[in-house]
Chains A and B, each alone.
Chain A
Amino acid sequence: MISVIRRICWAFMVISLAAGGRPAVAEDTIKVAYVDPFSGPFASGGDEFLKVFGYILAKVNADGGALGKKFELVPFDDKLQPAEALIALKSITDQNIPFVMQCTGSNVGAALVDGVSKHNARNPDNRILYLNCGALATELTNEQCDFWQFRFTGNVEMRAAAGIKALPMDVKKVYLLNQDYLFGQSIQHDTRKWLAKLRPDIQVVGDELMPFGKVQDFSPYIQKIKASSAQSVITGNYNRDLNLLIKAAVDDGLNVRFDTYLAHLIGGPTAIGAAGEHRLTTITEFDPNVPAELHKTDAEAFSNGWRANHETDFSEVPFLTMFQMLARAIDKAGSTDALQVALALEGMKATDLVGFPVEMRKDDHQLLMPYYAASFSRDVKYDAEKTGLGWKTDFIASTEDLTLPTVCKMKRPAS
């Protein structure tokens, strides 16, 4: 037994020597900490995003980076747990990394907004900026808005407004089905709000919350939807909760539209397949077919560059916009000082990959950006995840369309 322990100790010593012997990275880079789930059930999202960021940073760095330096990503695993994210934040600030970026989960996002705000109040000489690229809860740039957070993705309300604007005029009866947790409830709330505002002619014939990730058999829901004689099911469901719903609908011969917010998430097209043809729509930030339809060759070439080496599709244009705006802001500030970069980002206008104008609104630090409503169709240039079907753009909700009021009352640092 003792010899085993001794052997293990030796092994550890060898490993630590080997690790310590590696030369330190000599090149001076601008570090950006990236907090997302890289293990556990949500790891597929974090893994994919990490690859996408690799592709995006190659372009941004080739374009010159910022201050003549390259960006370098430092990943931290949060397992989609706010507590883990805060531990990561501690480690990030200890290493003096000036930016923390996070793209999955509003619960983690809320914790980071709070954590970063407190850290900056306590350590004015070691401040950090939170770049939100995927915590979608509307509150984060409204009631809970914070000076140190910049959100580079549309919030739930913007997506809801885009989705309702895109509904065809002949849809008169809709059924809302959402997951019973924070995100599902806010989708439900904002969908109702914008239905009442934009389409008072539509009758909500069903409004239901279902347990998140617990339902294995959707047949009873299909039966209820059928009985309600709805023409469209509007849902914020994603992953398994969406795939099983659509499968059950096709099996039971339910012929309605599925107007979703997140059907395009990676793995969705593969899992749904031909079952989604002619009935499935989604709200995207970008899709390879957008530049093809609008004849934007640069954007098409960029998305094809990703497609050539990956099974998935490039849809993360806001990630690119984020790094391009960040690089400009750092150049303008002349340093990576959080306050100076934040002031440079405020009100910054830019054009996204496709060529549409975007703006980082000063009042709430929400990026104002366009959204695309698309339906799942064979009639496309680029299919999604090699399924033979892809997202055909039906409607573009422009940046002006989605410039929604905010209730944010931001506390600004005395500068």
Chain B
Amino acid sequence: METVLISVLNGLVYGMLLFMLASGLTLIFSMMGVLNFAHASIYMLGAYLAFTASQFLGFFPALIIAPVVCGLIGAAIEIWGLRRVHHNGHIAELLFTFGLVFIIQRLVQMTWGMLPMAYRVPPVLDFPLFSLYGVNFPAYRAFMLLVSGAMLLGTWLLLKKTRVGLIIQAALTHPNMVSALGHNVPRVFTIVFAGGCLLAGLAGVIGGNYQTTEPGMADSMGPIVFVVVVFGGLGSLAGCVVASIIMGMIQTFAVVIDYSISDILRPLGVVFTGDTLFTEILTVPVARIGALLPFVMMVTILFFRPRGLLGTRDT
């Protein structure tokens, strides 16, 4: 019982971190139709900027400054980059963001060097909040949950309950009509892209000191975020939340499960011995391949439900 409870908490925290990263990606995709490969790179940039800002101003000002700078960078990328390749279609946009990944990676390495940064959790949040069966629950994780919850609520309210959200949604499906009504459609796209990058930057501020701030962090988070977005359904905020939490839970619980397929079959009288082609697959414990399960699930869902859990259109 205690294992389950602690695992649920851990899974929730990890899931919400994934959500913070994935929400910006989903936002950009659902509103602009652009699959932004460089999203995790903006996340990394957010962490580095927050580290630098927190050295001079402290963590909480950095929590505001770094995402805003990331948003401005996003706006610049949209205005001078994406907009110019936009008329060449989605493949061009995809390749453009793919190229950005390498450019940002190199820029970060050249600016901050190749070694990890000493970006730490601020002292005010660095204490155990409560203890559960002898396992501490750090205050910073509660803070992460709080921020990600606020992020979810804020994004949802903005998109569904305000005029701005209405115009953004309309601009995606009926750009000509929105333009005819006197709205500046390209600017709407800029705002959306900047907003997505701002969310990625915020995730970087929070994730950078929860994990480590180093040049490899974009590479390690990039794939899993795409899995979350595809699994949840491209362009669905609700799907993104659900998928993030499912992925968080799966990875957390998988580590606790020390059984393999052969252990399940053993009570049925099936015993595997010797060194056959399948021995390795059948006897490997789930814990050892836990981190790969999300990818298996992505493939499965693409096979049976290509639009993802709650997606509105096919991938």
Contact = CB atoms under 8 A, between A and B. Distances in A.
A253 to B, nearest CB: 4
Interface in B195-216: 211-212, 214-216
Nearest to B139: A251
Contact of B115 (A211, A240, A267): A267
Interface string A307-343: 0000110000000000000000000000000000000
Interface stretch (A131-139, A193-201, A217-225, A291-299): A217-225
B307 interface: no
Given A226-B135, A252-B135, A266-B115, A220 B7 contact: yes
Interface in B265-291: 287-291
A169 B220 CA distance: 38
Nearest to A254: B135
Contacts of A16: none
B288 A217 contact: no
Contacts of B91: none
A14 interface: no
Interface of B: 3, 6-7, 10, 13-14, 17, 109, 114-118, 120, 128, 131, 134-136, 138, 140-141, 211-212, 214-217, 219-221, 224, 248, 251-256, 287-292
A217 B224 CA distance: 12
Contacts of A266: 115
A243 interface: yes
B136 A253 contact: yes
A271 B115 CA distance: 9
Given A223-B3, A223-B256, 11 more contacts: A43-B114, A211-B288, A216-B221, A217-B14, A217-B251, A219-B10, A226-B135, A247-B212, A251-B136, A251-B138, A267-B114
13 contacts: A44-B114, A47-B114, A210-B291, A211-B289, A211-B291, A219-B252, A220-B255, A223-B7, A240-B217, A240-B220, A244-B211, A251-B141, A252-B135
B3 A240 contact: no
A5 interface: no
Nearest to A386: B118
Given A41-B215, A217-B252, A270-B117, A180 B288 contact: yes
Contacts of A208: 287-288
A240 B288 contact: no
A271 B214 contact: yes
Contacts of A406: none
A217 B10 contact: yes
Nearest to B288: A209
Interface of A: 41, 43-44, 47-48, 180, 208-211, 213-217, 219-224, 226-227, 239-240, 243-244, 247, 251-254, 266-267, 270-271, 273, 311-312, 385, 387
Q: Which A-B residue pairs are the 6 nearest by beta carbons?
A: A44-B114, A253-B136, A220-B255, A214-B291, A271-B116, A219-B10
A216 B252 contact: no
Contacts of A213: 220
A251 B253 CA distance: 19
B116 A220 contact: no
Contacts of A251: 136, 138, 140-141
A224 B255 contact: yes
B5 to A, nearest CB: 11
A215 B294 CA distance: 12
Contacts of B288: 180, 208-211
A71 to B, nearest CB: 25
A243 B248 CA distance: 20
Contacts of B13: 217, 219
B224 A216 contact: yes
A293 B288 CA distance: 42
A271 B47 CA distance: 14
A252 B212 contact: no
Contacts of B256: 220, 223-224
B141 A227 contact: no
A118 to B, nearest CB: 30
A214 B292 contact: yes
Contacts of B289: 211
Given A211-B289, A247-B211, A253-B128, A226 B116 contact: no
Contact of B212 (A217, A271, A311): A271
Contacts of B131: 253
Contacts of A223: 3, 6-7, 10, 135, 256
Nearest to A220: B255
A216 B7 contact: no
Contacts of B114: 43-44, 47-48, 267
Given A217-B14, A251-B138, A267-B115, A41 B219 contact: yes
B292 to A, nearest CB: 6
A44 B215 contact: yes
A267 B256 CA distance: 30
Contact of B135 (A243, A253, A385, A387): A253
B290 A273 contact: no
Contacts of B287: 208, 210
Contacts of A385: 115
Most chain B CB atoms below 10 A, which of A211, A254, A387: A211
B10 to A, nearest CB: 4
Contacts of A240: 211-212, 214, 216-217, 220
Contact of B116 (A48, A267, A312): A267
A211 B117 contact: no
Nearest to B209: A247
A270 B116 contact: yes
Most chain B CB atoms below 10 A, which of A219, A244, A267, A312: A219
A375 to B, nearest CB: 20
Contact of A226 (B14, B134, B216, B221): B134
Given A211-B291, A220-B10, A243 B116 contact: yes
Contacts of B254: 220
A385 B221 CA distance: 26
Contacts of B128: 253
A12 to B, nearest CB: 22
Nearest to A387: B118
B226 to A, nearest CB: 14
A124 B128 CA distance: 67
